[in-house]
Structure 1
C-alpha cells in the first residue's frame, strides 16, 4: 500500500503501540473460537507482523496470503453462515490487516477496525473474562490512538506511556456513570427487536437425535450446562436425572423424536410424595430445549410442556436464562397407554439385529406376561458381563447385535439404545430419554453445577399399573467394570484448578454471580430493581423518569470533571496564575501581552515593597520556565520550592 502523502510514516514506537492494541483486541475473540481456527488465525497474525515489520508485503503476496487465510477459515468453519463463521472471518481480516499498516492513517484504520473484535467476542460469550480482555484491548487501542495524535502534533517524546494511560483512564471515568445509568435504568424490551443467525459451528448441547458412538464431542465438553439452586429439600445425586429430548423413532442406527407427539398435551401423571422446588440457570445452547428434574409438574412461564414432559421455548436459548420449576418422582406416569402410542413404542425397523430379536423371543417365552421379569433379566445380564468404556468402534448395520453379543462394551448411548431395542423386541413399550445426570455441589454458593460432559441417555419402559418407569442400564454396570470415564479423568486431574478445589469453587461461584448480576438482568428484573425500597414493580414511564434523572446527574458529573480537567496541570503555572489573580483585586493584574519581568517592574512602581518580592519571584519563574533545565530530582525540588514561594506571596 502506498504511503499517503498527507500523513507521516509510523515510527517504530507508534507501530508497536498499534500492533499491541490490535493483538489485545484480537485475543478475546480467538479464545472463543474453536482451537484449530484460533491456531490458524493466530499464526497468520504473527506471520504477517513479522513479514511486514520493515517494509510492506508485495501486493501479490498480500493478496495470496489473504485469500489463503480466509479460505482456511471457511474450510474449518464448514462453509457455514452464522455467528462463528462471521467472527472467524473478522478475526482473520484483523490478523492480516497489519500487512498494509505503515502510515499514521493506516494505523488509525487498523485500530478502528480492531475495536470491532471485542464486540464480536460478546456475540459468542458475555462472561467476565471476555469483558476484562475486551476492556484491556479497548484501553490499549485508545492509548495507541493518543500516541498517534502525539505523533501528528510532535509531542510523542514529551508524553510518557504512564501519563497516556492515566489520561485515557480519566476519559473513561467521565462516561462511566452515564454507562451505568443506561445499563440499570434504560427501559429494556422483554424480547429483542433483532437477532443474529444461529451459530454455524453450533455449541455442543442436547439435540433431537442420538446415534450411538456420536456423543464423544459432547461428553468431552467440560463447560457448564446449567446451575441449579434448590429451595428446601434436595434429591440425592443418584436421583438427579435432568430430562431433555425423548426419542421414539429408530431407523436401525439413530434415534429421533417423534414429530407428531410434539403438539399433544402432557401425559397424565400422579406425583409422588416428594416435591423438589428449584431454579435452573441454563447456559446458552442455541437450542429451544429446556431440561428439568425428572419429572416436571408444569412448565414455567414462557415455556411449553409436551406429551413426553419435554419443555420447549419459542426462541433459541442464545443467552443465559433462569427458570423456576417444580418436579416430583411420579407414582404413576401415563398408566393408560393409547394403542397408537403403544404401537409407536414397539416399532422396530425390519431387517436389523436378528440375534437381538431371537433373544427377546426366548426371554418372552420364559417370562410369560411378566414384563418386569424381562427388565430385571436384562439388567442382571448387563451387570454381570458388560463393561463401560468410551473407547468403542463405530457400529455396523446390526449395531445392537454387535453391542450385545460381540463388544459388550460402550457408554450410555450404546446401553440405552440396545436396551430399548431389546425391550421392544420382547413386546415391552420402551423409549430413549436423553439429558444430564448428577451434578457437583459447590459449597461456596450452595448450588449444583451440571456440565455438558454430564450428558446421559437412559430408557423408559411401560409397565402395566405403573406406566412409564425410568430404567438406567448404564448404571447397572458393575463398578469394577467401568473404565476410562471422563469423570474419573476429571477427578484424577483435580489439583489446584480441578473440580472440588477451592480455586475451582471460587471461580465458578464468581461466574454464577456475574450471570446473576449482569447477564441475568432482564426486563423483568429491571422492573423490580427498587423492590428493596418498597416499590414492588416499576412501569416503563417510571423507569424512563428515573433514567432521565440519573442521566442528568451523570452529565453534570461529566461537566464538573471536564471543567476541573481544564485547569492547568502544572503546579508551578497554577501557583503563578493564582498569584496573578491576587493582584487583580488591586487593579494590578498581568496583561495578556506582558511578560513576567515587565509585569513585575510595573507593579514595583505602584507598590515598591511587594514589587521587589514579585521581581525576585518573576525572575525565578522565568528561569524555571525558559532556562530549559533537564528533568530530574534537583529540578523537582526547585519546582516545589517555587510553588511554595508563589503561594506564600501576598500583595501589601
Structure 2
C-alpha cells in the first residue's frame, strides 16, 4: 500500500521554518571566518528567495554545493577539524532551504538545523553562544507548532500564546538539563578525542617569522586572566614568559629541540615571590606563559631548560593553572658550550651591515659586554620609533630595520637586537610571551589580551647569566609600562579626566568580569569540582556511584514533573478552560470555591455581584458565551482579562442557595 504524499508547505509555515533555520545558524556563523560567513549567509538568503517562488533545479543545487565546498577550502584549507565540520554543516543548511516543498521537507530541515547551535559549542562555550542557542531552540519549537497546525488544518493560536507554550516547554526541560550538567559523572579526560581546528587561531607559537605577529598584535580578544594571592608584581616585572627562540636561519626563529627535553638549570632565587592563578583561554596549542621565571611546573605541564612551560595536552578549552614565580637573582651563570654555540649562531650571507657594526662596537668596547648593550639601547631609544605599519623585510631583515626603516614593533626590535648582540660576540636569544596587562577593578584580577603579545631579548652576561633586555621598551615604554588602558583607568576615578574613553573601559571591564564568572561557574566545572559539589554539607568527595544515584533521583523527579505537567495540559487542552480554572483556584484559596453542582453564573452572582465590566459576573458571562454559546468574542482579550482578574474586597461568603 502506497503512503499518502506529504501535504504541500504553505507560505506562513515556510516563513516560520526559514526563520527558525536562520536562528539556528546565528550561534555558528560568527565563529567562522568572516569571509566564509558572508558567503554562507548570502547563499542561504539567495536560495531561500529563489525557492520561495519556484523549485530550485537540481543542476543549480549541485552548483551551489560545489561553490560552497570551494569557499570552505579557500578559507579553511583541506585539513579536517571541528571548525571545518561546522562550516560544512552551515553550508548544508544554507543550501537545504532550496528544497522546501512539503511538510516533510520542513520537518527534515528543522531537524538538521538543530545540529547547528550544538555544533557552535564545539567552537565556543561562552554565554553569547548559549543565549543564541536557546533562541534557536525556541524558534524551532515555534516553527514545529506551525507545522503541526498546518498538518491538522487548525487555526494557529495568538502569537503570545505560542511564545508562552515554547517557553513552557523549555522550562520543562531545564531541570533535566541542569541535573545532567551538575550530577552526570564527568570523566577527567574525554572519552574520545575531538579533532583540533582545521584552521589555526592567533596565539603564541614556537616560531617567529616576519609578519607572523601582525594578526596577533591586532587581536583584542582575551588571552589569559590572572589573580594574585599576595604581592602584585610591578609593571617592570609583568613579563609573561612563553617560548624561547634560539635557532635562527636568517628569517625564522625557532626553539631548540634539545632544550625542550632537558631539565631546567638552577636559578638563584630573589626574595620576592609571586603566587597566582592563570585562567588560560583556549588556543588549540600547548604553549603556556608564566611570570618570569616560574619555579615549578603545575600538574599537567612541563618546564624545560629555557624555563618555558608547556601543557601536556592541547588547550582546547578554558584551563586554570596555579603557579609561583620570582625574578631571578642570576640565571644560568655557567653556559654549556653547546648552548653557547647555538646562542652565538648566525647564518652566513645574512645582514652584513649589522654584523659589521657589531664587530666595530666589539673592537671599541673590548671585553665590556654591558657597554655594548648600553650603546645599542641608547641608539634605539634616540633614533627609532614604534609602529605596526612596516613592510615585509627582504633577505637582510635586521639590516633593513636598523639602517633603513628605524621603525617597527617588538618582532623587529627583538630579532634585530639579538642579531646585533650575536654579531658582537654576546650569546643572545629571543623570548616571546606577553607583557603588561590591565587590572579589572570589578574582579580584582589582571586581563591580558592577545594584542599584549610581546617579544624581548635575553643576553648572557658574565656573573649574571641570562639577563632580560627589552629594546622595545627603550623606544616605546608606554607599550609595556603605561598602556592606554592604564591611563583611562586612572581617568575613570572621578576627576576631570572622566570621559567617554573611561566609560568605555568600565563597560569592557564589567563585560569581562561577567565572562570570568561564567568561566568559573560553567566552563571550569570539571570532574574535580563535581566531586566536591556537596563539600559545604560535609561530604568532601562524591564517588561516581553516588553521583549516578543523585542524577537518577533528580532525573526521575524532573521526568515526573514533566509528565504531570504535560498530562495536565492534555486534560485541559482548551486555553480558555485552563484560564477559568486558574481564576476559580484564586477564589478557592480565600474560601470561596465553587461547588461542582453550582453553575458558573450563579456562583459569580452569589459571591461578587458587582456590575463592573471587569468584575467576576461580567467575566463569567463572557466565558459562558465563548465556551457554550459558540459566540465569536475577542479570545485574546478574554484570556488576558481572566489571567489578570483577582478577587476584590467585599466578596460575599454566603452558602449557595
Q: TM-score interval w.r.t. the shorter chain?
A: 0.7 to 0.9
TM-score of the aligned structures, taking structure 1 as reference length: 0.87
Match of 1:605? none
Distance 1:480 1:317, change over 3 A: closer
Does structure 1 retain, via aligned residues, the 8 Å contact 2:278–2:320?
A: yes
2:478 & 2:181 partners in 1: Cα distance? 54
Match of 1:628? 630
Distance 1:440 1:117, change over 3 A: same
Residue 244 of structure 2 aligns to a residue in which SS?
strand
Match of 1:558? 562
Within the candidate set 518, 529, 541, 1:537 is matched to: 541
1:47 & 1:184 partners in 2: Cα distance? 43
Match of 1:150? 149
Superposed CA offset, 1:313-367 (max 9, x none): 2210000000010110000111111111111111111111111111111111111
Match of 2:507? 503
Distance 1:486 1:115, change over 3 A: farther
1:327 & 1:88 partners in 2: Cα distance? 42
Match of 2:472? 474
Match of 1:33? 32
Distance 1:637 1:173, change over 3 A: closer
Does structure 1 retain, via aligned residues, the 8 Å contact 2:237–2:327?
A: no
Using the TM superposition, give the Cα deviation of residue 622 of structure 1 relative to its aligned residue in structure 2, in angstroms: 8.3
1:504 & 1:541 partners in 2: Cα distance? 43
Using the TM superposition, give the Cα deviation of residue 498 of structure 1 relative to its aligned residue in structure 2, in angstroms: 7.9
Using the TM superposition, give the Cα deviation of residue 489 of structure 1 relative to its aligned residue in structure 2, in angstroms: 13
Within the candidate set 323, 326, 333, 2:324 is matched to: 326
Match of 2:453? 455
Residue 552 of structure 2 aligns to a residue in which SS?
helix
Distance 1:430 1:103, change over 3 A: same
Distance 1:623 1:236, change over 3 A: closer
1:369-380 counterparts in 2 under 5 A?
369-380=367-378
Match of 2:251? 253
Does structure 2 retain, via aligned residues, the 8 Å contact 1:271–1:328?
A: yes
1:232 & 1:519 partners in 2: Cα distance? 26
2:10 & 2:426 partners in 1: Cα distance? 79
Match of 1:174? 172
1:64-143 counterparts in 2 under 5 A?
64-143=63-142
RMSD: 3.5
1:530 & 1:107 partners in 2: Cα distance? 46
2:466 & 2:144 partners in 1: Cα distance? 66
Residue 15 of structure 2 aligns to a residue in which SS?
helix
Using the TM superposition, give the Cα deviation of residue 476 of structure 1 relative to its aligned residue in structure 2, in angstroms: 0.5
Instruction: Point out where structure 2 has 5 or more consecutive residues left out of the alignment.
Output: 492-497, 585-595, 600-619
Does structure 2 retain, via aligned residues, the 8 Å contact 1:386–1:481?
A: no
1:522 and 2:526 correspond = yes
1:101 & 1:274 partners in 2: Cα distance? 68
Does structure 1 retain, via aligned residues, the 8 Å contact 2:270–2:329?
A: yes
Distance 1:567 1:649, change over 3 A: farther
Instruction: Point out where structure 1 has 5 or more consecutive residues left out of the alignment.
Output: 580-587, 590-595, 597-617
Using the TM superposition, give the Cα deviation of residue 85 of structure 1 relative to its aligned residue in structure 2, in angstroms: 1.7
Superposed CA offset, 1:112-136 (max 9, x none): 1111110111111110001100110
Using the TM superposition, give the Cα deviation of residue 497 of structure 1 relative to its aligned residue in structure 2, in angstroms: 8.3
Superposed CA offset, 1:280-339 (max 9, x none): 000000001111111101111111111111111221000000001011000011111111
1:426 and 2:428 correspond = no
Match of 2:52? 53
Using the TM superposition, give the Cα deviation of residue 47 of structure 1 relative to its aligned residue in structure 2, in angstroms: 1.1
Does structure 2 retain, via aligned residues, the 8 Å contact 1:261–1:306?
A: yes
Distance 1:555 1:571, change over 3 A: closer
Superposed CA offset, 1:64-121 (max 9, x none): 2232223222222223321222211111111111111121111111111111110111
Within the candidate set 269, 274, 296, 2:294 is matched to: 296
Match of 1:308? 306
TM-score of the aligned structures, taking structure 2 as reference length: 0.86
Does structure 2 retain, via aligned residues, the 8 Å contact 1:629–1:635?
A: no
Does structure 1 retain, via aligned residues, the 8 Å contact 2:485–2:505?
A: no
Within the candidate set 271, 292, 310, 1:273 is matched to: 271
1:62 and 2:69 correspond = no
Distance 1:445 1:6, change over 3 A: same
1:195-234 counterparts in 2 under 5 A?
195-234=193-232
Q: Which moved more, 1:437-446 or 1:161-170?
A: 161-170
Distance 1:200 1:495, change over 3 A: farther
Does structure 1 retain, via aligned residues, the 8 Å contact 2:40–2:90?
A: yes
Within the candidate set 226, 236, 239, 2:237 is matched to: 239
1:305 & 1:481 partners in 2: Cα distance? 28
1:505 & 1:479 partners in 2: Cα distance? 24
Superposed CA offset, 1:3-48 (max 9, x none): x962111111111110000000101111111111111111111111
Within the candidate set 259, 262, 271, 2:260 is matched to: 262
Does structure 2 retain, via aligned residues, the 8 Å contact 1:346–1:424?
A: yes
1:480 & 1:52 partners in 2: Cα distance? 57
1:555 & 1:489 partners in 2: Cα distance? 55
Residue 335 of structure 1 aligns to a residue in which SS?
coil
2:246 & 2:428 partners in 1: Cα distance? 8
Residue 164 of structure 1 aligns to a residue in which SS?
helix
2:77 & 2:581 partners in 1: Cα distance? 69
Distance 1:622 1:456, change over 3 A: closer
Using the TM superposition, give the Cα deviation of residue 161 of structure 1 relative to its aligned residue in structure 2, in angstroms: 2.2
Distance 1:192 1:118, change over 3 A: same
